[in-house]
């Protein structure tokens, strides 16, 4: 099953982080997402460009709706013509398969 067709699973404090090898393989299903280290935590990051502020805000709302439906919540930075989305699993302080699922679904928006 592809990432965009998958559903997030409940993530517990002892859930396993994806391995570096798994992350490389999962990134192949995503469109231009990067893994960055923020506060010593690996996070999936992508910047989306828009022609105006209204489109940026609309996109943010759709990502927020996705986050609620998956019960998995990203950091979203909204600027004029640009939205940056960060997915990571707070409980395990790193990347879980859920983050890749949500990134794939963010791309569909």
CB 44 within 8 A of CB 88: yes
Structure tokens of 88? Answer: 């990571």
CA dihedral (87, 31, 80, 68) positive or negative: negative
pTM of the model: 0.91
Structure tokens of 23? Answer: 């992350």
The predicted structure's pLDDT at residue 3: 77
Structure tokens of 83? Answer: 């939205």
CATH class of 37-109: alpha beta
Res. 8 pLDDT band, cuts 50 70 90: low
Extents of the domains making up the chain: 37-109
CB 3 within 8 A of CB 81: no
């Amino acid at each position: 099953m592809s990432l965009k067709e998958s559903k997030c699973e409940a993530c517990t404090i002892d859930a396993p982080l994806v391995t570096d090898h798994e992350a490389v393989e999962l990134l192949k299903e995503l469109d231009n997402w990067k893994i960055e280290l923020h506060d010593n935590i690996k996070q999936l990051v992508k910047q989306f460009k828009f022609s105006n502020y209204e489109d940026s805000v609309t996109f943010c709302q759709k990502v927020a709706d996705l986050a609620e439906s998956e019960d998995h919540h990203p950091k979203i930075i909204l600027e004029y013509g640009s939205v940056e989305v960060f997915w990571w699993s707070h409980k395990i302080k790193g990347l879980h398969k859920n983050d890749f699922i949500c990134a794939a679904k963010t791309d569909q928006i």
